[in-house]
Amino acid sequence: MKEKSKIKQSTGSRIFDCFNILFLGCAGLLCIVPFLYVIAASVSPLSDILTRKFFIIPVHFDFTAYKYLFSSIQLMKSMGISVMVTVVGTVLSMSMTLLTAYVLSKPQLIGRRVLNALVVFTMLFSGGMIPTYLVVYKMNLIDSFLALWLPGCISAYNMILVRTSISALPSELEEAATVDGCNYFQCFYKIVIPLIKPTIATFSLFYAVGYWNSYFDATIYLNDSSKWPIQVWLRQIVLLSSGGFSDTGSISELGYIPPQNVSYAVIVFATIPILCVYPFVQKYFTKGMMVGSVKG
Amino acid sequence: MKKEKILSAEKFISVNKSRGREPVLVRFRKDWMLYVMLMPGLVYFLIFKYGPMVGLITAFQDYNSMLGWFGSTFVGLKHFKRLFSDANFLNIFRNTLVLAFYNIIIFFPLPIIFALLINEVKSIKYKNVVQSVFYIPHFVSWVVVAGICTTLFSSQSGALTDMISNLFGRKVSILSEESFFAPLITGQVIWKETGWGTIMFLAALSGVDLQLYEAAKIDGANRRQQMWHITLPALKTTIITLLILRMGTFLNTGFEQIFLMLNTMNRSVGEVFDTYVYQTALTNGRISYGTAVGLFKSVVSLFLVIGTNKIAKKAGEEGVY
Amino acid sequence: MKEKRQGKRSKTAMLISLLLVLAMALTACGNSNSTTTSTSSESAENTGTEAKETDAGNGEAFKITMMQELYSDAAPDYANNAWFAYLQEELNVELSINFVPTSTYVDKITTYIASNTLPMVFTARSDVLQNNNLIMSMESDGFWTLDDYLADYPNLYEFVGAQTWENSKINGKNYGIPRLRILARNGAIIRQDWLDNLELDMPETFDELYEVLRAFTEDDPDGNGVDDTYGLTTAYEVAANRSWNGIQTLAVAFGAPNGWVYADGEMVPDYGTEEYLTALQYLRKIYENGYMNLDFGEITANTRYEYFQQGSYGMVFGVIDDANNQQENLVQVVPDAQCAVLAALHKEGEDPLCNATAGFNGLLMFTKFGSNAIETEDDLRKILSFYDSLCKEDMQDFIGYGIEGVHHEVIDGVKTLFYNDQGKTVLSVDVGDFSQLLPIAAFTRRPTDTALITSVFDAADEREAYLVNDVSTNLKSDTKNELSSELDTIMMDASVKFIVGTIDEAGYLNEYAKWLAQGGEDVIKEFKAYYEEYIQ
């Protein structure tokens, strides 16, 4: 059964492969070129940026933008906070999502249809910022990191999709396990979770990106500015350096305005960490994860 | 194909077994662990999703946040009346619909197509590289995207403006002409989100049993047939679920993106619900009005979701509820 | 294989439990702060820099909770700070400040009001004062009015000035301390080096300006032989900031009212006046001839500054205090560039007319409701006396220069500020955006000012004589509150379309009629009624 496929590839198939690779390559370039520009701009002097002296490869090198960023202790500390918030948040969200999705995928759950409908309902209707704030306030979570994790803990959208992928698993697997004496939680933990690794990888990535990029919740729920994640500060820097503040005060303010190339450095700084996460996720996307799980 | 049919038959039996054959209390006691596992999620939804929904009442009040819900005056449908009688209402509705249709018809299939194309690539290294590069635009903020578009298409100094003008035979200003707005916005979404959208489909594709391909090849199927009979069906459930969920956000066009590209010239085709709410309600602190518009959008989305879900179920698919 | 998987799983389980423990530890810290509603006051207490017993004679320091927009990229560490320590000790207060990024400031105020936890003192910019939610809270008696108390605080009263107190009244009452700004702020910045190269004088009349813009575009002012220069760059800008794109500056110089004026028993909006249309026609001619950036209707305010800083444009409308910033960025691209403030434009033989700002941007407001309120009149008086002391000369000096040896040193009798590695002054790092909560003069001349900055201040002084005020600053109109953004957008769009040539004069007047019909007529009526009742 494992002999190499001796079927020859038709010419049509080979032409398709050629075009495919070319097409994907072009699309890939289109995606990455603007980002390469951003990286190049972040290490160029301001005058080069304004006069557009370069395209992807910088003409002159000027690291003042990065010097400015790294010299700020607050920025480094908030980077650490972002990492912590993202990791804990992702683990928490993923656990809750998987658990709830598993339960809601079981046909024998009483009121399953109603519960699922209620979940969908929350995707469509929302009380808004003020009521959510009041709930968080009444639970005494203001100024606590839990306010960043709890209100958005389970994304209904993500949960529905995870539920779909759990439902797609053949039911014989669990039935076999139940025969062997597994209860629901053991089935969940030992059987289902290992089988939906690509799904877990995907949605962990989605949650992680969501937590990493969040800044609004932090400014609303966290009064103490030393607790803010890095996105808050990075946004401030970008707004500041692009002259976004109409009226910062009377002229006697000797406020310092970071030059424009700092915004580019900020974009790189904010994005690269999360870009590094993807390769780890990617290894779960190898084909044929389910091979061998169901015999016959 | 055969395997799938057998599976659904078995599922069918097991569902029937648990429905109505045993009294509820017996099922409850037997499956007690299931309900315990349900508790955390249920509590979460009740507190953080349904709790705040009380706030929807502000759509029917002249909400004074200092006095709260109990201190504000009840005004019934006043805000909805104002929305519907706004001179721009139909215009805004139409603009939103146009963008929504462009998005669903043009953008929605693209991540699927790209996922399939990537899947067809034989070299794993190339595949990985392409995948990693594709999703980078997702992390570029809309502000940067708008900046790039200005650089490329500005009437004054756009890098591509002359080239495009030659194509069209007249001076075009993409950033201000009305007919270009929807394609521009959709183009931005395509560039930014296609790559990110392929992730979910690639994950689904990685769950396809390789043996199916082997068997098909031996049966003499060519690549197109393999894709049609093996690959696509593997994505079917995901696609349909995503489509139904997409209906739930049908009237959402994404505020930041549109707001950045709006200007005097294209406002008549560019003003959508999200930007309208931002300008009239959010920046001015008219909370009740903003909630009312949001409520209107939600109700429309509700009908769309119910409708699409029914259609999906009739076609034999598993809906979202 | 199974063992490996189990080993992996127990590792992941350990990792998860570790993280959860970490999370719990952190949230425990967070929770202990949130058990009271005035959160950051506890951190101030714990760091031991507050002044409890001082020689100010009042015994315990008075706690003030405050809230401020964050404009810079760092919040001052006020608990560990020589400047704050001195301030709190000197004036016998204990401060606790929440800094909020400016982009979410309004949302934060909204949530604070909704949860009734608004701090005692907070800043409210002029746009924030238009916020309907805040207005409702004002009308529900949520804030203290200062009218009855000002007489007891002469330093504060005179520092702000009677006229500004009058201008900043809302519904006939003073709801807070106005934050002073230069009145004659609107203007334009022009390339002095180009004027010199072309041997032109600073233009003062409209004809002269037109000629200058033409020369900038056609006569190669930068002398490089390439036809790559243009006259004016500006952006259409959103309606809320319409005073920046130059239309209003020009219109007022032509004689139009600054927004609104009450004349001959009628309330007149500028949109409908002859002079406003003249200004639009002037700009339209400039646009048609290519003396102006063609994407005027597409770009944002930042982009027009970018264009200017690239060196290819000769003039840009904006606030004159931006001149220094533009200069600093411009010289990086064009080392010989020299910016100057454009002269106040005037009609031939007449005095210039400058459109004035309100003279203040927002108020410092004092909360009367909720758990963080200023509860009694006594407490309010304590805070007012705090501000009164800040208006005295010694404290103003302290605000401007800080502590000698820490923030500045005296060289040859001149106070010179210290700078740190990032290029900021040590004083600005220590004080940060707290300065927004302090009474500060509209502008302060320093001996270290450059020629450009001095010219900006000179212009501000000179133009005070020619200011045209916006009558509607403290008029109230319900329709305006409801529909201001829609109405403003109609006319802003009409103005831009006219300039760009999409519509002609008939089309513009059509839009004006639309504006009247959709609410403009009501605003005129309401303003007129209010003016005649309260102001006249």
| Residues in contact with C186: Cβ distance below 8 Å, sequence separation at least 6, in sequence order | C243, C244, C248, C249, C317, C319, C320, C354, C355, C356, C357
Nearest Cα to C282, choosing from C100, C491, C499? Answer: C499
Average pLDDT over chain B reads 87
Please say whether the beta carbons of B295 and B59 come within 8 A.
Answer: yes
Q: How far apart are CA B289 and CA B294, in angstroms?
A: 9
**Phi and psi angles of residue C228, each rounded to the nearest 5 degrees, phi first:** -130, 25
Residue C25: pLDDT band (50, 70, 90) is: very low
Please give the average per-residue pLDDT across B154-174, as a whole number: 83
The alpha carbon of residue C28 is apart from the nearest alpha carbon of chain A, in Å, by 8
C360-366 and C176-180 beta bridge pairing: antiparallel
Instruction: Quote the pLDDT of residue B77.
Output: 93
pLDDT for B105 equals 95
**A82 and A125 co-located in one domain:** yes
Copy the structure tokens of residue C115: 């949860």
- Tell whether the model's pLDDT for residue A252 goes beyond 60: no
Asked if residues A230 and A78 have their Cβ atoms less than 8 Å apart, the reply is yes
Over residues B212-237, the mean pLDDT reads 86
Q: Residue C50 pLDDT more than 50?
A: no
- Do A153 and B242 lie within an 8 Å CB cutoff? no
pLDDT tens per residue across span C518-533 = 999 999 999 999 888 8
Average pLDDT, chain C: 83
C113 interface with B at CB cutoff 8 Å: yes
Which of A103-117, A187-201, C25-39, C142-156 is predicted least confidently?
Answer: C25-39
**A188-202, B163-177, C24-38: range with highest mean pLDDT:** A188-202
Residue A10 placed within a domain: no
pLDDT for the residue numbered C486: 82
Q: Which amino acid is at B92?
A: I
Q: Is residue A114 part of a domain?
A: yes
pTM value is 0.86
C316 φ, ψ (degrees, to nearest 5): -145, 135
C-beta of residue A152 within 8 angstroms of C-beta of residue A221: no
DSSP-derived secondary structure letter, A188: I
* Number of folded domains that form chain A: 2
pLDDT of residue A255: 54
Asked if A161 contacts A200 with a C-beta cutoff of 8 angstroms, the reply is no
Confidence grade of residue B17 (pLDDT, cut at 50, 70, 90): low
Residue B116 contacts A where some CB pair is shorter than 8 Å: no
Mark yes or no for CB contact A282/B136 under 8 Å.
Answer: no
Pick the closest to residue A148 from B252, C105, C106, B48 (CA basis): B48
Spell out a b/e string for A168-198, using b for 16 or more CB atoms within 10 Å of the CB, else e: bbbbbbbeebeeeebebeebbbebbbebbbb
Helix residue ranges, H only, C61-153: 82-91, 105-114, 126-129, 132-139
Residue A198: its chain B contacts at CB < 8 A? 203-204, 206-207
pLDDT the model gives residue C57? 44
Q: Is residue C479 a contact partner of residue C523, using CB atoms and an 8 Å limit?
A: yes
Q: What is the pLDDT, as a whole number, of residue C469?
A: 87
> Between vectors from CA B317 to CA B312 and to CA B321, what angle results, nearest 5°?
75
Nearest to B61 by CA among B49, B50, B71: B71
A80/C contact by beta carbon, under 8 A: no
C90–chain B nearest CA distance, Å: 35
pLDDT-derived band at A296, boundaries 50, 70, 90: very low
- b/e per residue C222-253 (b: at least 16 CB within 10 A): beeeeeebbbbbbbbbbbbebbbbbbbbbbbb
For chain B, where are the alpha helices, taking DSSP H only? 2-18, 24-30, 32-44, 68-71, 78-85, 89-102, 109-120, 124-134, 142-153, 161-168, 181-205, 210-218, 223-226, 232-248, 255-261, 267-270, 273-277, 287-314
**Dist. CA A69–CA A234, nearest whole Å:** 9
Sort out which chain A residues have CB atoms less than 8 A from C26's CB and list them: 84, 145
Would A7 be classed as within a structural domain? no
Answer for the pair C480, C130: CB distance below 8 angstroms, yes or no: no
Contact A163, A103 (CB under 8 A): no
A40, A78: one domain: no
Is the pLDDT at B265 greater than 90, yes or no?
no
pLDDT of residue C209: 94
| DSSP category for residue B57 | G
The yes-or-no verdict on residue A289 having pLDDT over 50 is no
Mind listing the pLDDT tens digit for each residue in B61-93?
Answer: 999 988 888 888 999 999 999 899 888 899 999
CATH class, domain C49-183+359-437, is alpha beta
Of B62, B64, B66, B145, which to mutate for an interface test with C (greatest number of C Cβ within 10 Å)? B66
Q: Quick one: pLDDT band at residue B10, thresholds 50, 70, 90?
A: low
With bands split at pLDDT 50, 70 and 90, how would you rate the model's confidence at B217?
confident
pLDDT tens column, C269-302: 999 899 999 999 999 999 999 999 988 888 877 7
Q: Where are the domains of chain B?
A: 1-50
Q: Looking at the predicted complex, does its ipTM rise above 0.85?
A: yes
With an 8 Å Cβ cutoff, are B284 and C132 in contact? yes
Q: Is the CB of residue A274 less than 8 Å away from at least one CB of chain C?
A: no
Q: Choose one of A62, A85, A116: the last residue of a domain.
A: A62
Interface of B with A in 278-317 (CB under 8 A): 287, 290-291, 294-295, 298, 301-302, 305
Name the neighbours of C, counting chains with at least 3 Cβ pairs within 8 A: A, B
Residue C12, pLDDT > 80, answer no
Residue range(s) in chain C whose domain bears CATH number 3.40.190.10: 49-183+359-437, 186-355+451-535
Chain B neighbors (3+ CB pairs < 8 Å) = A, C
CB contact under 8 A, B34 and A130: no
Q: Name every chain B residue with its beta carbon within 8 A of the beta carbon of C518.
A: 87
Pairing label, strands C121-124, C62-70: parallel
Q: Which segment, A34-48, A229-243, C41-55, is predicted with the most confidence on average?
A: A34-48
Contact flag C34-A250 (C-beta cutoff 8 Å)? no
Q: Is the pLDDT of residue A251 over 70?
A: no
Q: Are the C-beta atoms of A171 and B11 separated by less than 8 Å?
A: yes
Q: What is the DSSP letter of C169?
A: -
pLDDT-based confidence at A286, cuts 50/70/90?
low
Give the whole-angstrom CA distance, residue C171 versus residue C184. 25
Above 90 in pLDDT, residue B21?
Answer: no
Q: Hey, which residues 28-87 in chain A have their CB within 8 Å of chain B?
A: 28, 30-32, 34-35, 38
Q: Do C113 and B88 touch (CB under 8 A)?
A: no
Mean pLDDT of C329-341: 89
275-334 in chain C: CB under 8 A from chain A? 301-302, 305-306, 309-311, 321, 325, 329, 332-333
Residues of chain B numbered 198-227 and touching chain A (CB < 8 Å) = 199-200, 202-211, 214, 217, 222-223
Residues 6 or more apart whose Cβ sits within 8 Å of residue C252 = C258, C270, C353, C354, C355, C468
pLDDT in tens, B99-126: 999 999 999 999 999 999 998 888 888 9
User: Which tens digits make up the pLDDT trace of C105-134?
Assistant: 999 999 999 999 999 999 998 888 888 889
- Longest Cα–Cα distance in chain B: 76
Predicted pLDDT of residue B7: 52
| pLDDT reading at C402 higher than 50 | yes
C304-316 confidence digits (pLDDT tens): 888 898 888 999 9
Alpha carbon of C278 to those of C272, C316, C525: distances in Å?
11, 20, 26
Q: C173-199 pLDDT, tens per residue? A: 899 999 998 888 888 999 999 999 999
Q: What is the mean pLDDT of residues B313-321?
A: 87
Q: What is the DSSP letter of C342?
A: P
Q: What is residue C96's DSSP assignment?
A: E
pLDDT per residue over C502-522, tens digit each? 999 999 999 999 999 999 999
Residue A295 lies in a domain: no
Residue C110 and residue B283: Cβ atoms within 8 Å?
Answer: no
For residue A224, the distance in angstroms to the closest alpha carbon of chain B comes to 23
Of all residues in chain B, the percent with pLDDT exceeding 70 is: 93
Distance from CA of B206 to the nearest CA of A (A): 4
Range of the domain at A129: 67-246+253-285
pLDDT of residue A69: 82
CATH code assigned at A156 = 1.10.3720.10
Query: pLDDT tens-digit profile of A130-180?
Result: 999 999 999 999 999 999 999 999 999 999 999 998 998 888 888 888 888
pLDDT for the residue numbered B16 = 55
pLDDT band at residue B214 under the 50/70/90 scheme: confident
- Residue B132, min C-alpha distance to chain A (Å): 7
In this prediction, residue C389 carries a pLDDT of 93
Using the 3D structure, point to which of A62, A97, A119 is the last residue of a domain.
Answer: A62
Chain C residues whose beta carbon lies within 8 Å of the beta carbon of residue B280 = 485-486
Are A142 and A223 within 8 A, CB to CB?
yes
Residue A291 has pLDDT above 50, yes or no: no
Contacts of C35 in chain A (CB under 8 A): 140
Interface contact B264-C140, CB threshold 8 A: no
Of A246-260, C21-35, C325-339, which has the strongest mean pLDDT? Answer: C325-339
Task: With a cut of 90, say whether residue A72 has pLDDT above it.
Answer: no
* Tokens coding B284: 């001015």
The amino acid that residue C482 corresponds to is E
At residue B214's C-alpha, the angle toward residues B208 and B216, to 5°, is: 90
Q: Looking at beta carbons, which residues of chain A come within 8 Å of B242? A: 161
CATH topology (fold) of C186-355+451-535 = D-Maltodextrin-Binding Protein; domain 2 (3.40.190)
User: In this complex, do B285 and C116 lie within 8 Å of one another by their Cβ atoms?
Assistant: no
pLDDT of residue C444: 81
Reply yes or no on whether the pLDDT at B193 is more than 90. Answer: yes
- Average pLDDT of the residues of chain A: 84
Best C298, C367, C500 residue to mutate vs chain B (most B CBs within 10 Å): C298
pLDDT band at B1 (very low <50, low <70, confident <90, very high): very low
Task: Give the model's pLDDT for residue C14.
Answer: 52
Residues in C closer than 8 angstroms to A254, CB to CB, are 417, 425, 427-428
**Interhelix angle for C301-310 vs C323-333, to 10°?**
50
- Tell me: pLDDT of B32 over 70: yes
